[in-house]
Amino acid sequence: MNSSTGFVKVPGGKIWYQKIGAPKGTPLVVLHGGPGFPHYPLLPLKALSSDRQVIFYDQLGCGKSDRPKNKTLWKKERFLKELQILVNDLKLKDHYILGQSWGSMLAAEYALTSPKGLKKIVLSGPFLSTAKWIQDANKLKSKLPKRILRVLEKNEKAGTTNSKEYQKAEKEYNHRHLCRINPLPKLMVKCRKEGNLDIYNTMWGPSEFHCTGNLKTADLTKKLHEIKIPVLLTCGKFDEATPETTKFYKTLLPNAQMHVFNKSSHTPHLEETDLYMSTVRKFLNS
């Protein structure tokens, strides 16, 4: 398997990238989630390199990329500029984008700039509106055992979300709606180990279901109709990016299709890998 790595200079430092597969077909650029957690959980996507070159990268601040301490860098607009620089630096003409979780918002923002050569996007576990995300999270939290819910609410109200009891209670939510594999896959463990909580806390907050960061008002729902290219939306049946909200996003996109993975939560690329890959491959090859 052909593979090469390199670095690209972006505002704030250098980002690491890896190209896997021969340069044939239309390349796929993969945008990881977080914000602040690297590409490792998405590595199963290298299976798609039999059809095309697959390009992974770690956004600034995490994984193998530089880790500047300047918190003013952790803004959606800078991460969008970073992606644009990467595409230009790698001299990508026609290309596809796959964004997972936070990466889906980045992918949609990129598509909204109408970049030359962007042909299709995949929005996996889509995060396109913080209000919708939190609304869904509140519904999912309400189904947790009452003792766990009380711990979460008490600590959020007191501002003690860094407490051990809060983090322990948070794990139950994550096991149900983030990744249902137990124990966690090694790629997820490595992702957390090389993640950057400063970015996550600055942009999002202390947990998947409690937003206090600068993404608090993020909402693309009024702009999605401007994305005319083909879009594939995917989510798991138990996803924190719920099938109901994903279906709502589909109604806003003029040229979209959707697939729900019935045995998955937020990581069907790990939970139902073969089906996920065949679904994405079929969309990209169609």
Main-chain dihedrals φ then ψ at residue 278, nearest 5 degrees: -70, -35
**Whether residue 124 lies in the annotated active site:** no
DSSP string, 127-159: --BHHHHHHHHHHHHTTS-HHHHHHHHHHHHHT
**Whether residue 66 lies in the annotated active site:** no
The owner of tokens 């979209």 is 256
DSSP string, 201-224: HHHT-SBTTB--STTTT-B-TTTG
Q: Which of 239, 259, 264, 265 is catalytic?
A: 239
The first and second tokens of residue 128, run together, are: 């396109």
CB proximity list for 193: less than 8 A, separation 6 or greater? none
Q: Which of 32, 39, 266, 269 is catalytic?
A: 266
Helix axis angle for 146-158 and 164-177, nearest 10°, is: 130
The first and second tokens of residue 67, run together, are: 């880790």
**Whether residue 49 lies in the annotated active site:** no
Distance of CA 76 to the CA centre of its chain: 13
Q: Which of 32, 39, 58, 101 is catalytic?
A: 101
The three-class DSSP label of residue 245 is helix
DSSP string, 223-241: TGGG--S-EEEEEETT-SS
CA distance 240 to 102: 12
Q: What amino acid positions are annotated as catalytic residues?
A: 101, 239, 266
